[in-house]
Structure 1
Amino acid sequence: MNLRALVSVTGKPGLFKLVGQNKGGFILETLDSAKIKSVVSLSSTKMATLEDITIYGEDEEIRLLNVFETIKEKGLTVDPKADGETLRNTFREIAPGHDESRVYSSDIKKIFTWYNIIKDLPLFEEEAPAPLV
């Protein structure tokens, strides 16, 4: 799974592909069919790549990519609009050991929404490039 160029932007719904950088900030493109490009300021916006996002665990943090891999391996179809208890039960199955007191239903809903956005992208099937040493 090669999701290196995909980012979440605080305060903006959905996911974005990082397509470049200029003096004013990062150039992002929406992942929907509209492919709208926008510039996000470096100083006023927080961004996180999907590769860097982790989920609170009871013993250790769980990488978001590992959660996505588990959903993919189990062939689960997840409806992010399901009720909170259904989402939590499904999340217990794919991310055992997550800290239930710090991972909220809204977080789980966002993770499932993101998965549904990226599952059909070509990047989802690509191997991640080797880390730079």
Structure 2
Amino acid sequence: MNLRGIVSVSGKPGLYKVIGQNKSGFVIEGLDAQKLKLVVNLSTSKLASLEDITVFGEDEDLKLVDIFGRMKEGANVPDAKADGKALRAYFRDVAPGHDEDKVYASDMKKIINWYNILKDLPVFEEEAPAVASEEGKE
């Protein structure tokens, strides 16, 4: 799964793909059917890259990419509007070891919404690009 360049913008629903950068911020494009393009000013909005997002864990934080992978393998993703108990039961399966005191129902709903946006896109099936190693540069 290649989540590089996919971001969430504070105060805006949905997910976006970074397509460029200018002096005032980033040019982003919505991942929905409208393909709306926006310029996001970094002084007024926050961007969160999905490949960098983690979920609180009991021992160590869980990567969102790993949670999406488990969601993809399993079936029956609950509706994001399901009650908190159903979401919590589902998250015990796809994110074992998440900290139940710090991960709220709103967080689980957001992750399910993001999954539903991404699951039909080509980036969901792509392999993540390999990180260049420092050893090869010498």
Short-chain TM bin: over 0.9
Task: Kindly indicate whether residue 39 of structure 2 is the aligned counterpart of residue 70 of structure 1.
Answer: no
Q: Which residue of 1 aligns with 2:22?
A: 22
Q: Which residue of 2 aligns with 1:125?
A: 125
How far did residue 48 of structure 1 move?
1.1
Cα distance in 1, alignment partners of residues 130 and 78 from structure 2: 30
Cα distance in 2, alignment partners of residues 67 and 78 from structure 1: 14
Q: Secondary structure at the match of 1:13?
A: coil
What is the TM-score of this pair, normalised by structure 2? 0.93
What is the TM-score of this pair, normalised by structure 1? 0.96
Q: Which residue of 1 aligns with 2:10?
A: 10
Cα distance in 2, alignment partners of residues 98 and 10 from structure 1: 23
Q: Return the letter of the residue paired with 2:99.
A: D
Q: Which residue of 1 aligns with 2:94?
A: 94
Cα distance in 2, alignment partners of residues 21 and 117 from structure 1: 24
Q: Secondary structure at the match of 1:17?
A: strand
- Taking every aligned residue pair, what percent have the same amino acid on both sides? 60
- What do the CA deviations read for 1:32-64 (whole angstroms, capped 9, x no partner)? 100000000122221111100000000000000
Count of aligned residue pairs for this structure pair: 133
Q: RMSD of aligned C-alpha atoms?
A: 0.9
Q: Which residue of 1 aligns with 2:57?
A: 57
Which has the greater radius of gyration? 2
How far did residue 105 of structure 1 move?
0.2
Q: Which residue of 2 aligns with 1:114?
A: 114
Most deviating of 67-76 and 30-39: 67-76
Q: Return the letter of the residue paired with 1:94.
A: V
Following TM superposition, the consecutive aligned residue runs of length 4 or more in structure 1 with deviations greater than 2 angstroms are 75-78
Superposed, 1:80-91 pairs within 5 Å as 80-91=80-91
